């Protein structure tokens, strides 16, 4: 069948859908992956059909990092960005889904992707990399504090989902009128009373790390993360190869796609904490842009494959994005999370709860002394052993195979 995958965001929002696309293609399905245009080379080098979407997610990252953890301001930032590019993205997703028999969509496309599926009378499946449309009393919505009350925790999920739907409807109507787009009736894809094909949800995280909740709806399935096979063939630059071979294992620092106005201050704190704890470091600079001359104890590189690099490191410090979180866990090394925005505090708290890292430090509260304490705590033997146990369990999971099974099952139920 023809499958279109709609995703939007940073590399962490695109990367998981590369192995998923290949897994579907190996089963004989034709896949089109629609994502921001800057990821065209990344997608096409895996011989996956790509359809570019408007906008630069680096701008969105900057907006979200500027507002921090305020749920209302986060929603406003996403809405303002969506209004800027919305008309183009609506047109582009329609083209990308033109020949689709099934649409797979992520957070940003949940409402629009479902609306397209209804109009075409085809099924759709939602894939999420963080808990958003899966109400449970076990924990709150990822943007809210834990109220230690199952009823209230569950209510936060319902509130966040309904707020998302209302914002999507208002935003689309504004964009539609401004751009002269045709009217479109929008529906919430996960309603219990949904008469049309109700969108199943595949949760792309490890059940060993965040187990399925007993009160999940029947159409919610935790599949495991979507990984490529471990990279054995990567050839690093000579400087990186030499750095790793000549010295004790370093700490990896990776803030990925985070663009923060305090990047220089954060870099200075990290450097001081490494010095005080007598650790070497590799800084993956990503979109953050802060770089210095490398030394025998500290190296700056723009990027390197996580599955190749992290097993060679002693622990990882990162922002708590879903993609980097999964990579650190899979490598079996302890983690320190410094959340910037969004779902990142949730993953940082889960890491601490599972005993595979130290307590997260919000970026606004970060100091050299606090980071030193976190590094010391993450280096405890009990944390190191627990990280190895969880990493080994996760390396035995096959999230792609499980996801492909569910996609084909739901497609069969819809008689495709």
330: part of which helix (H) or strand (E)? helix 322-331
Residue 127, classed as helix, strand or coil, is: strand
* CA distances for 133 relative to 109, 146, 190, angstroms: 13, 17, 8
What pTM did the predictor assign?
0.90
Residues 70 and 147 in one domain: yes
The Cα 269–Cα 212 span in angstroms is 37
Q: Using 50, 70 and 90 to split pLDDT, how confident is the model at 32?
A: very high
Q: Is the pLDDT of residue 188 over 80?
A: yes
Q: Is 206 helix (H, G, I), strand (E, B) or coil?
A: coil
How many domains does one find in the chain?
2
Answer whether 399's CB lies under 8 Å from 226's CB: yes
Based on the domain organization, do 203 and 283 belong to the same domain? no
**What's the angle, vertex CA 345, arms to CA 401 and CA 390, rounded to 5?**
45
CB 123 within 8 A of CB 414: yes
Q: Are 65 and 195 part of one and the same domain? A: yes
In this structure, are 389 and 406 located in the same domain? no
Q: Same domain, yes or no, for 252 and 182?
A: no
Residue 232 belongs to a domain: no
Same structural domain, 218 and 253: no
Does residue 406 lie in a domain region?
yes
How confident is the prediction for the chain on average, in pLDDT? 90
pLDDT in tens, 233-286: 788 999 999 999 999 999 999 986 555 567 888 889 999 999 999 999 999 976
- Does any domain span residue 294? yes
Lowest-confidence segment of 16-20, 157-161, 228-232, 294-298 by average pLDDT: 228-232
The residue whose two tokens read 């499980």 is 402
Q: Is 361 helix (H, G, I), strand (E, B) or coil?
A: coil
Structure tokens at 382: 């009990």
The larger pLDDT score, comparing residue 121 to residue 69, is at 121
Token pair of 334 as six digits: 């302890």
Residue 67: the pLDDT is 59
Question: Which of 155-169, 179-193, 196-210, 395-409 shows the highest mean pLDDT?
Answer: 395-409
Do 242 and 332 sit in the same domain of this protein? yes
Tokens of 181: 């787009």
The CB-based long-range contact list for 82-86 (8 Å cut-off, 24+ gap) reads 82/108, 82/171, 82/175, 83/171, 83/174, 83/175, 84/55, 85/53, 85/54, 85/55, 86/171, 86/172, 86/175, 86/179
The answer to whether the CB of 227 falls within 8 A of the CB of 19 is yes
Task: Confirm whether 50 is domain-assigned.
Answer: yes
Kindly state whether residues 98 and 46 are assigned to the same domain. Answer: yes
Token pair for 131: 């808990």
30 and 143 belong to one structural domain: yes
Domain assignment present for residue 375? The answer is yes
Rounded Cα distance between 32 and 228, Å, is: 18
Whether 231 is in a domain gets the answer no
Looking at the domain assignment, is residue 230 inside a domain?
no
- Cα→Cα distances 345→140, 241, 359, Å: 12, 33, 10
Rounded CA-CA distance 322/88 in Å is 27
Indicate whether 107 belongs to any domain: yes
Length of the chain: 416
299-315: pLDDT as tens digits: 999 888 999 999 999 99
Query: What is the distance between the alpha carbons of residues 377 and 364, in angstroms, rounded to a whole number?
Result: 20
> What pLDDT sits at residue 385?
98
Asked if 337 and 320 count as a contact pair (C-beta separation under 8 A), the reply is: yes
Residue 219's Cβ-count burial label (10 Å; 0-12, 13-18, 19+) is: middle
Shared domain check, 152 and 81:
yes
Same domain, 111 and 25: yes
Note down the domain range covering 105: 2-225+397-413
- Distance separating alpha carbons of residues 149 and 155, to the nearest angstrom: 10
Q: Round to whole Å and give the CA distance between 275 and 252.
A: 14
> What pLDDT is stored for residue 341 in this prediction?
82
d(CA 122, CA 131): 25
Residue entry with tokens 């030193």: 372
Structure tokens belonging to residue 282: 């590799």
**Residue 63, pLDDT score:** 60
Segment 179-192 shows an average pLDDT of 86
| DSSP-derived secondary structure for 230-290 | P-------HHHHHHHHSSSPPEEEE-TT---TTHHHHHHHHHHHHHHTT--EEEE-TTT--
Q: What's the whole-number mean pLDDT along residues 354-383?
A: 97
Residues 55 and 198 in one domain: yes
Residue 131 has pLDDT above 80, yes or no: yes
Rounded to whole angstroms, how far apart are CA atoms 65 and 339? 10
The arithmetic mean of pLDDT across residues 327-347, rounded, is 94
User: The domain spanning residue 386 has which CATH number?
Assistant: 3.40.50.2000
């Amino acid at each position: 069948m023809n499958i279109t995958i709609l995703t939007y965001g940073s590399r962490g929002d695109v990367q998981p859908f590369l192995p998923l696309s290949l897994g579907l293609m190996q089963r004989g399905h034709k896949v089109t992956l629609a994502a921001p245009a800057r990821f065209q080379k990344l997608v096409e080098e895996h011989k996956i059909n790509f359809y570019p979407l408007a906008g630069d997610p680096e701008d969105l990252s900057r907006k979200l990092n500027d507002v921090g953890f305020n749920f209302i301001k986060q929603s406003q930032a996403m809405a303002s960005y969506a209004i800027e590019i919305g008309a183009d993205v609506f047109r582009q997703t329609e083209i990308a889904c033109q020949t689709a028999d099934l649409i797979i969509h992520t957070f940003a496309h949940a409402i629009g992707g479902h609306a397209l599926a209804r109009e075409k009378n085809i099924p759709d499946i939602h894939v999420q990399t963080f808990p958003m449309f899966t109400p449970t009393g076990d924990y709150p919505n990822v943007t809210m504090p834990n109220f230690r009350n199952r009823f209230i925790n569950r209510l936060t999920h319902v509130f966040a989902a309904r707020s998302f739907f209302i914002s999507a409807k208002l935003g689309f109507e504004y964009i539609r009128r401004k751009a002269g787009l045709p009217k479109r009736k929008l529906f919430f894809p996960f309603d219990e009373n949904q008469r049309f094909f109700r969108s199943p949800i595949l949760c792309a995280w490890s059940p060993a790390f965040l187990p399925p909740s007993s009160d999940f709806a029947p159409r919610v399935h935790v599949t495991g993360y979507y990984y490529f096979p471990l990279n054995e063939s990567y050839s690093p630059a000579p400087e990186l190869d030499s750095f790793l071979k000549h010295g004790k294992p370093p700490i990896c620092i990776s803030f990925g796609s985070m663009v923060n106005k305090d990047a220089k201050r954060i870099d200075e704190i990290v450097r001081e904490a490494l010095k005080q704890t007598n650790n070497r470091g590799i800084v993956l600079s990503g979109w953050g842009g802060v770089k210095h001359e490398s030394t025998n104890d500290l190296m700056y590189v723009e990027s390197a494959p996580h599955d190749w690099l992290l097993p060679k490191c002693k622990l990882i410090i990162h922002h708590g994005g879903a993609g980097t979180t999964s990579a650190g866990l899979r490598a079996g090394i302890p983690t320190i999370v410094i959340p910037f925005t969004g779902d990142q505090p949730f993953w940082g708290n889960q890491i601490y709860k599972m005993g595979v890292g130290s307590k997260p430090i919000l970026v606004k509260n970060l100091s050299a002394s606090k980071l030193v304490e976190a590094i010391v705590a993450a280096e405890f033997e009990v944390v190191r052993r627990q990280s190895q146990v969880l990493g080994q369990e996760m390396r035995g999971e096959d999230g792609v195979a499980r996801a492909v099974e569910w996609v084909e099952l739901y497609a069969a139920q819809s008689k495709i």
